[in-house]
Structure 1
Amino acid sequence: MKAVVAGASGGIGQPLSLLLKTCPLIEELALFDVVNTPGVAADLSHISSPAKITGYLPADDGMKKAFSGADIIVIPAGIPRKPGMTRDDLFKINAGIVRDLVQGIAENAPKAYILIISNPVNSTVPIAAEVLKNAGVFDPKKLFGVTTLDVVRAETFVASITGAKNPQETVIPVIGGHSGETIVPLFSQAKPSVSIPSDKLDALVKRVQFGGDEVVEAKQGAGSATLSMAYAGYRFAEKVIKAVKGETGIVEPSFVYLPGVEGGDEIAKATGVDFFSVPIELGTEGVKRAINVVGDANDHEKKLLQVCYDGLKGNVSKGIDFIKNPPQK
């Protein structure tokens, strides 16, 4: 199992690389970034875990060397959010970065599972899909937008209300997209069920939707949610790897291209969008099936979903348009 982190020297990339280096399921870990990767790789190489680690820069065909033979590529590359900046403000810079990295994957590792963390995910995943389509190597079952941080936040924040000792033992579907009001936690479908006082529900939903702002403010402009995102990225990557290696019954929400996966058409029809985060069952080929939880949303959640659909349509179109009508340099 060869894993790659593209954007390995950044605020998310370094802790994500550390977590992946400790994963016993990975035999080889390649790090790629525009700066510092040989140093990061040297530092991590002293950790006594099985993964053999290498670090590459763009010079000397670094991207090709990093990506060739990869089974799974995680992309946290991009610039972080700064105070007052929306995820959308990041769009042009990060869109170009993702486009170029995915082009490199299409050329050097077309069969790899691709996990996109780079924001805004609602647009960068459609960008990746368009690049892969243009290269003739798009497999919707292997392209994932990582929305696990929204799930992790929902688990954590609910536990602070219910008093659950281990937040991970409550499964909460968080669906839609990965920014602001496109994030819709379905607390009514939590397992085991949770009781949230009605006077706390709106604040809880908002905290899940805008949890990133909380971190940006607490860091006083010095960074965004990097450590929690690295954890979430690792949690999802590990689940994909376990499924690829044959473990069954693994379900986790992810932002995927619905028309290309089993069960997706029904959800696309219900939501009116082709890219959407829903719980997916993972298998040896990537997405085994998408699980339709939309129809079971309660009245409060249906109102949230309507706002989500409207926002997502614009985000997705923006990503597709970035490739079809590239901005003038």
Structure 2
Amino acid sequence: MLRNARMLLKTFSSLGRQFSTTQTSNSRVCVIGACGNVGQALSLLLKRDDLVTVLSLYDLKKAIGMALDMSHVDTNSEVAGFEKIEMLPKALYCADVVVIVAGQPRKKGMSEDEMLKQNSGIIFEVMPAIAEVCPKALIAIVTGPTNAIVPLAAEVLKTKDAHDPNRLFGVTTHNVVRARTFISDELQVDASIVKVPVIGGNSPCTILPVLTHTKPKFKIEDEDDALPIIRKVREAEEQVAAVKGDQGATLVIAHSVAKFTHSLLMGLAGKGDPKECAYVESAVTDSAFFLKLGKQGIEKNLGIPDLAKFEAELLHELMPELKESIKKGIDFAKKTKK
């Protein structure tokens, strides 16, 4: 009797949160790879996000214990852990946003082909489940190599007749976060007020901060003024990995993905005017863009801003590698049947 009473009280408490006049959002987020180095920090940040009402943590092991630990954090969102592949459908049940951070980070000397082969299995397992369980969810992919993994994911979804380019994102927010930080250091201003578009892809030589569109204005006379910061953003991941080891830059990634997820949830809730940079499929060009987010995912692709001559040349230089990565992802999907 006592056990039943407790369960009843928990049910009423849950319903109270859902129908509370102070609760303005009812969003379910699923983190795939929640127990990894990025996943743990990301999950904690999402547990603290007021827009998240249900947080589902999935990994091959330790997710249940992690969820229990996190359930003691004093925020209103509910959290549950799911382990092993057979529990994946339950983890994805009714998800509004699915964030995929599972997989191995790039190690020193690892090629894009090796990384794609190593991490592709995650996509082949997760995408069909998303297509079946929560086909309308927004999907944010962090798993690398982003330039090839996102096209691979799109191809897998197409085989399930569940591909919507407005709902599939390669997360590149960490490049924007780094660019904002480095520019704020140069300008000696608060990083929170800095805005800068970052286009291209997510591998070092395909990342392109558009410094001529920085706000506050970053004075650039010519290419020589811009290249040091562009190089700094491109080399940031490798520099952190050189100090931390194979674990790489986990905290800035978690912070950035949490910011991106929050913007997705704002769009779904019809709040504010969320705009983020992401690597998405587009008729404009194969590149990352600034996007206006809404209830259907991408509400408007804001495209590529007007570029200075040297920026246009840099974009032209990086496009062949970006297109080759996209081709690799598509070809890998077509030759691998699961």
Same fold (TM over 0.5): yes
Aligned length: 311
| Structure 1 counterpart of 2:197, from 169, 173, 183 | 173
In structure 1, give the amino acid aligned to 2:32.
Answer: A
The answer to which of 192-201 and 120-129 deviates more is 192-201
Q: State the distance in 2 between where 1:45 and 1:87 align.
A: 37
> Partners of 2:142 and 2:152 in 1: how far apart?
13
Is 1:16 aligned with 2:58? no
Aligned to 1:130: 155
Alignment of 1:79-118 (within 5 A): 79-118=104-143
| Matching residue within 302, 309, 323 for 2:319 | 309
The one-letter code of the counterpart of 1:30 is S
Where does residue 298 of structure 1 map in the other structure? 308
Give how far 1:124 is off: 0.9
**What residue is the counterpart of 1:27 in the other structure?**
53
- After superposition, the CA RMSD in angstroms is 1.6
What is the aligned counterpart of 1:37 among 56, 63, 76? Answer: 63
Offset, 1:93: 1.0
Cα distance, 1:88 vs. partner?
4.7
Output the amino acid matched with 1:290: N
Contact 2:211-2:226 within 8 A present in 1 as well = no
State the alpha-carbon separation in 2 of the partners of residues 190 and 63 from structure 1. 42
Per the alignment, residue 169 of structure 2 pairs with 144
Distance in 1 separating the partners of 2:318 and 2:298: 23
Mapping 1:111-260, distance limit 5 Å: 111-164=136-189, 166-196=190-220, 199-219=224-244, 221-258=245-282
Matched residue, 1:282: 293
- Taking structure 2 as the reference length, the TM-score comes to 0.88
Structure 1 residue 156: deviation in Å? 0.6
- Distance in 2 (CA, whole Å) between partners of 1:173 and 1:282 is 15
Cα distance per residue 1:190-237 (max 9 Å; x no partner): 122112575553221111112110110011x24111110000000000
Residue from 92, 114, 117 that aligns with 1:67: 92
Amino acid at match of 1:137: A
| CA offset digits 1:123-179 (Å, max 9, x no partner) | 111111111111011111111110100000100111121111x11211100001111
Identity among equivalent pairs (%): 36
Asked if structure 1 preserves the Cα contact closer than 8 Å seen for 2:29 and 2:97, the reply is: yes
Contact 2:105 2:246 in 1 (8 A): no
Q: Distance in 2 between matches of 1:236 and 1:161?
A: 25
Q: Deviations over 1:38-73 (max 9, x none)?
A: 1211111110111111111116x3101100111110
CA distance in structure 2 between the aligned counterparts of 1:292 and 1:130, rounded to whole angstroms:
23
Residue type matched to 2:78 in 1?
Answer: K
Q: Does residue 7 in structure 1 map to residue 33 in structure 2?
A: yes
- Mark the structure with the bigger radius of gyration: 2
- Quote how far apart the aligned CAs of 1:106 are: 1.0
The secondary structure found in structure 1 opposite 2:166 is helix
Residue 57 of structure 2 corresponds to residue 48 of structure 1: no
Aligned residue type for 1:316: I
Given that residues 248 and 282 in structure 1 are in contact (C-alpha distance below 8 angstroms), is that contact kept between their aligned partners in structure 2?
Answer: no
Give the Cα separation in 2 of the matches to 1:63 and 1:292: 35
CA deviation profile, 1:283-318 (whole Å, cap 9, x unmatched) = 111101111225x11011112101221111000000
- The one-letter code matched in structure 1 to 2:124 is R
Kindly provide the amino acid, as one letter, of the partner of residue 240 in structure 2: V
Unaligned runs of 5+ in 1: 259-264
Q: Secondary structure at the match of 1:27?
A: strand
Tell me, what secondary structure is at the counterpart of 1:192? coil
Quick one: structure 1 residues 217 and 196, their matched pair in 2 at CA, closer, same or farther if it must change by over 3 Å? farther
Query: TM-score, normalization: structure 1?
Result: 0.91
SS in 1 for 2:260: helix
